[in-house]
């Protein structure tokens, strides 16, 4: 028996807001979270801008001792997870236990902690390395910490598939519930990778925008003047439940998690398949599993990184699946405002799809002022749009050739 899966709670920590509501209001107003990086000296870097989370206080969600023993990405995950379970009303009702699991994706885990530890090792020697280093730098530390904090004792693990990590976490959580291995899953993604080594690495790969003098205009998905993505950070977590469990407890249902498709390009370690074939197969698979025809889709939240190849190949993938209907489906890249949250990107963009379905408003793709002729679809340029959205798709494509697509639809009995 396959169980229907619904979403009942959301939590977010993002460059444009510290919870789901503030993030949503910023996005529909077209607010950019990009600016000069403040967490370290960037004067010797080609790129000196990023989309940092501003004003996050981990002590709102944990005591000082626990905060010291968590990397920033795990702090974000904990904050978003506690927001989500409160939003769903499951913690107060004592419903978390043996049948509740946690899957939180992360692209690289506690890289900030590891970066700091290398300095300690070089300057003071191995005897000064903290015994907490290993659990702090592990990519699965966020899922472990959330499981411990909430007492969630079903499946607990991390998905690591580059920029598809958060989407894969939610997709795998859906599958766990569908096959009956849990009734509730706390799932999403978290990353905090605005660090010197990450900035240097992506600069070396020529993936980042160098528009340092205009950070708010740097992320330009589908624009012919795009020159790379803006590095972001944050987390998004959602509570998924089997429909029967949610109905029995009288939960407020935000939307139905209808389909998940994952494929591999098997093409190149950083570049997407040059015809978008892998992404197209993932979209088709997700729609098929959801039982939804392409022409029924009302909105697509694009991966839309503002890199030359990604935007062009994603456009090709969408055209392959949707044919002529591709031109009537509104598509937006919220990375134009939040930057690229890497392992958290797919999770926060999935959460945005839920809010689009709930509010019937589509956030814009800002900075789209010079359309690329090869990217000729409706990318909702610069201003939010009112539209009834009942079915939404979100794409996440990552280094390594990972493609992950999620489908959400308005809940109906």
- Catalytic site residues? 163, 303, 340
Neighbouring C-alpha atoms within 13 Å toward the C-beta of 106: 32
Q: What are phi and psi of 255, to 5 degrees?
A: -175, 170
Contact criterion met (CB below 8 Å) for 369 and 282:
no
Q: State the DSSP string of 84-128.
A: HHHHHT-TTTT--STTEEEEEE-SSSSHHHHHHHHHHHHHH-GGG
Q: State the DSSP string of 193-254.
A: --SHHHHHHHHHTT-B---TT-GGG---TTBTT---B-BBEEEEEEEEEEHHHHHHTTPPP-
What CA–CA distance (Å, rounded) separates 179 from 290? 15
Q: Report the residue count for the chain.
A: 413
Nearby residues of 118 by Cβ (< 8 Å), 6 or more positions away? none
Q: Tally Cβ neighbours within 10 Å of residue 209.
A: 24
Helix axes 165-178, 345-359, angle to 10 degrees: 70
């Amino acid at each position: 028996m396959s169980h229907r899966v619904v979403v009942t709670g959301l939590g977010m920590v993002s460059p444009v807001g510290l919870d789901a509501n503030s993030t949503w209001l910023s996005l529909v107003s077209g607010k950019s979270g990009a600016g000069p990086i403040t967490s370290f000296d960037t004067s010797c870097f080609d790129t000196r801008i990023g989309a940092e989370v501003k004003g996050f206080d981990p002590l709102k969600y944990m005591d000082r001792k626990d905060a010291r023993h968590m990397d920033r990405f795990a702090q974000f995950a904990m904050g978003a997870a506690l927001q989500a379970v409160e939003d769903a009303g499951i913690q107060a009702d004592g419903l978390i236990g043996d049948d509740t699991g946690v899957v939180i994706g992360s692209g690289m885990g506690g890289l900030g902690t590891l970066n700091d530890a290398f300095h300690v090792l070089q300057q003071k020697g191995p005897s000064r390395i903290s015994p907490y280093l290993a659990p702090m730098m592990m990519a699965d530390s966020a899922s472990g910490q959330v499981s411990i904090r909430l007492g969630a004792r079903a499946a607990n693990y991390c998905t690591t598939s580059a920029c598809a990590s958060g989407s894969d976490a939610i997709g795998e959580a859906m599958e766990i519930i569908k096959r009956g291995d849990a009734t509730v899953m706390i799932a999403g993604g978290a990353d905090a990778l605005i660090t010197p080594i990450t900035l240097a690495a992506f600069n070396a790969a020529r993936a980042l925008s160098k528009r340092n003098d205009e950070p708010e205009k740097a992320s330009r998905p589908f624009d012919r003047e795009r020159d790379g993505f803006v590095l972001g950070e944050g987390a998004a977590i959602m509570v998924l439940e089997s429909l029967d469990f949610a109905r029995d407890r009288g939960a407020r249902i935000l939307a139905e998690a209808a389909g998940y498709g994952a494929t591999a390009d098997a093409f190149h370690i950083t570049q997407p398949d040059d015809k978008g074939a892998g992404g197209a197969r993932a979209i088709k698979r997700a729609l098929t599993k959801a039982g939804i025809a392409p022409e029924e889709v009302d909105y697509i939240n694009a991966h839309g990184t503002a890199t030359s190849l990604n935007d062009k190949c994603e456009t090709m993938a969408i055209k392959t699946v949707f044919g002529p209907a591709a031109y009537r489906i509104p598509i937006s890249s919220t990375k134009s405002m939040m930057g690229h949250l890497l392992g958290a990107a797919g999770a926060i963009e999935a959460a945005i799809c839920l809010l689009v379905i709930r509010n019937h408003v589509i956030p814009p793709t800002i900075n789209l002022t010079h359309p690329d002729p090869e990217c000729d679809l409706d990318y909702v340029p610069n201003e939010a749009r009112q539209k009834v959205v009942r079915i939404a798709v979100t794409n996440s494509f990552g280094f390594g050739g990972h493609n992950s697509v999620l489908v959400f639809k308005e809940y109906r009995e």
